[in-house]
Copies of this chain bind each other. A is one copy, B any other.
Amino acid sequence: MKVKLKNVFVIYFLVSVIGLMYALLQLGQPCDCSQHLRSASDLMHGKDKKISQLLSEVKRLQARGKGPELEGQALPIIYAITPTYARLVQKAELVRISQTFLHVKNFHWIVVEDSPVKTQLVSELLAQSGLRFTHLHTETSKEHKRKESDPNWLKPRGVEQRNLALQWLRENRELSEEGVVYFADDDNTYSLRLFDEIRSTKRVSVWPVGLVGGLRFERPLVEKGRVVGFYTAWKPNRPFPMDMAGFAIALQLLLANREARFDLLAERGYLESSLLQSLVSIEELEPRADNCTKVLVWHTRSEKPKMKQEELLQKQGLGSDPSIEV
């Protein structure tokens, strides 16, 4: 018994000495968390990087949206009326303005072809554009049609097409609907900011147009928030010496004045005036684009592509594959 007890004590003694030593070691060095903390810090560093990446992505995405998106649904619709006609650069021009319009909220594109039918090219382009659109067509009557060989100022293009679009709006929109109508030719260049400026049109809003009339820009002259004249060199005595791209009209004003339209017989340069005269006076014009001091639309014109090689090859029966749309 005595021997047994001694053995028990010896074993107990050894175990407890080890336990005590371990306990003392732990007490001197209470807890080494560095490994845990290192991996935690790595993780956090990674997360910080991710956050900074995401923040810059959010910034970038917000910038490209431009403007208070959430109000989107409440905004008046902008109706852009674009007359167009078949030519080599037609598809290219329509593609690039459609990509501009795709950024504009509450937008409705009215495309009117100068054609006896709706062409496949324009129909498919519109269907694939991602835009809300209305596709119309009317062929310019022979007496008013400009020939290929005519200089581009001889007869204005797109008059009957724009009038058809006005008619469509009058037949398909209610006087109670808020909206803005803009005549957006397919060859101009539009800054996205222009559409923010247009949106709030009460009657007729106006702004500068770049690269037009033989000038760097034409523009309404504004004093104390009112239009008092126009900076223009060509026929400055026209009632509204402005380019088509330089004004927008409230939908309600057009619906309330059902007879207002472009005059097919208007003298050269008087087309814009022929519509505006029956809608508004100069004093009523609403200046936009920082009191008409910013150019947000440019009267760009595409060169007619040279087809010398194509013509040569066609004579040899080797012209480009007509089934490939350009």
Contacts and interface: CB of A to CB of B under 8 A. Distances in A.
Interface string A56-69: 01101111111001
Contacts of A37: 33, 36-37, 40
A303 B306 contact: no
A26 interface: yes
Report the interface size class on chain A. 35 or more
A299 B88 CA distance: 11
Contacts of A231: 320
A313 B215 CA distance: 9
A313 to B, nearest CB: 6
B48 A309 contact: no
Interface in A119-141: 128-132
A7 interface: no
Contact of A89 (B41, B55, B190, B211): B211
Nearest to A127: B63
Nearest to A96: B189
A280 interface: no
Nearest to A15: B20
A92 B324 contact: no
A208 B306 CA distance: 17
A102 interface: yes
Give the interface centre of A12, A93, A215, A234 by most chain B CB atoms within 10 Å. Answer: A215
A47 to B, nearest CB: 4
B215 A309 contact: yes
Interface string A303-326: 101111110110000011100111
Given A216-B310, A313-B233, A54 B58 contact: yes
Contact of A302 (B31, B95, B233, B302): B302
Interface string A1-45: 000000000001101111110111010000111001100110110
Contacts of A58: 54, 57-58, 61
A86 interface: no
Given A19-B22, A36-B37, A303-B302, A64 B102 contact: yes
A133 B37 CA distance: 38
Interface in A189-243: 189-192, 208, 210-211, 213-217, 219, 231, 233-234
Given A33-B36, A33-B37, A88-B211, 9 more contacts: A16-B17, A16-B20, A23-B26, A44-B47, A60-B130, A63-B128, A92-B189, A214-B306, A216-B307
8 contacts: A54-B57, A54-B58, A64-B130, A88-B211, A96-B190, A215-B313, A295-B324, A301-B303
Closest 10 CB pairs of A and B: A16-B16, A214-B309, A64-B130, A33-B33, A233-B309, A61-B61, A19-B20, A63-B130, A92-B298, A54-B54
